[in-house]
Structure 1
């Protein structure tokens, strides 16, 4: 019996020694992985604390192992399972990078001016979970690398995810300025400024881009003027040649030569007029074809920015603006504009609605009802100028609520009057 008990104790000692060896191996492996994670700044202090706590518990339980062999075996099994589970979680965290960690690592590389590495990290973050911030951050890295087209594309993707992300508008404005798209750059900066009117950086960006655009327009105008002046100069040279020829002939033939020159001049003027008329006709036809083509390509906007850019592009043509409005569902207006509607835009839309109210009353009233549901509508109405207020009152009385308006629509419009035409 004594020999059996001694053999049993030796077996248990060997088991425990094997367990300690396993523990040491696991600890060395864990330390190696810990060093790797620390080099990337991803080691979690909380997890380290949990591991240390588990180690302490294990040692404490091993120290009292002589209480009973069953208890020792139970503690060994339970703690080994616990640490194995903890190790599995740790390995899983190491082998499964998350989008946020990649983005933060990209930020660190950006601070170190390692823009290529930052782009790689942001790209992995986007692949794991695309966000407006990740796209905009990668765009900023592209700007630093002077890859302006990629920067513009990334900002557009960011705005597709969040159409009120000011940094994306600002960075796309910068990219477009570098690409020579000055008009589009101004539109981005202007829209960002509307979202955040007191942002001094965006104010500066808007002013600089606008100044560049105005210089470009001035240079084009100056070039056209110089070209015209050169043509005028050539005409003067031709006239002087004719005058010299006239002075060289005798007085008796001077009238004949002058008449011939005048006739030649008249013929040239006639041809110029015919050419001008022909050019104007071609221009009118081209404009008509362009207008038809634009009408075909009008698509429903998904954001306030898209709507406003399209609306401005069709400025001066109420027919095309009405078409843009009609391809946009009335019930979608509050979601499209959110809280980015401006007072001038609201008044202009109402003026456009007035142009097709008589032909499509039901649709026009639906637009008016849903515009009133746009966020901060009451605040927008308070910002109207006295001229716009007077214009709205006139439209309401002369167009929307005149004697020819059917009763079913007149009642709905009367209910809307207090919203659109508040008492002074």
Structure 2
């Protein structure tokens, strides 16, 4: 949005014309010239104090100016012009001549059209800003932008599903569910709304409701791979929850806390990986050799015998981000068993934790074991998918691990072996 010469020309002819003032104020705000925008919005409110767009903008810009200029921010503003008493009446009087771009009609009822046109433009600007914040993983500011959008237009489904994504990332599951409910009232077949509500139910540990929403997603679009994977995960969590209830009634059984893990793209229009892994609470179980994660000082690791037990152990470790415990787990796990133990549950957080544990705790002690684990990790299901999801900095950590491996003399593998394995990691 550009404040062009026509707006200035219009204000030269009519200094207190509502539409040009609003346009210029919006342009100034977009250009981050907040002081000038504030003055124009204040002038608009002298003409008509009921313009909601101007009121909301004043509140928003006031906060920004206070952050930028401190408590004396008003002293840095240009003087706010006093609107003549007759101006408000003249600006909106039905007899005022209409110009073609005002889109009015001969009856003179043009003010709603002007306001709607301006608010529609502001809606698009706010929506785009929200989307950019999501791309930058700035979910709090994105949420604020989407909320401002809904003040202008609360009937667009995409804004609710985008804001639900932000709530999921911020672990506000109830709010995410409510936004999805609103979206489904507008569009009863919205796939994103069902998927993100399933994620919200999962975060709230309402696994049965999550399953129901995921089944609805696949009913609407059977080709969504993420929904299929999520369905498997939620089914597993539901089974664990049911089994835990049964075990607590009978014989006490060793149990490990479960950490739900998700990883994916943060684009507002994507469905994969909507929940942040940092905020998903572990399942509460009975007695455990690991103890309660929040209170135990050290995890006790024993060798898992199957993929289910391995998944419980690695999730418990991942909850604590305990590289030392992960290194111990890898030290007692045969590398050739790693693909089977990981099954189809390899996630981004787990992948990175394995690499960091090998790099920071095992490379100096047993480089041969590190090489073998890297070799068999590359054979795990979803390995190639993980390579597409990791960030540049994470890839640099893997590169450093291979550099350390290349610099460590060992008769169990050659430099050619390391170079060949690096190609599997797309380095």
TM over 0.5: no
TM-score by length of 1: 0.34
- Name which structure has the greater RCO, CA cutoff 8 Å, separation 6+: 2
Q: Which has the larger radius of gyration?
A: 1
User: Which structure shows the bigger proportion of residues in helix conformation?
Assistant: 1
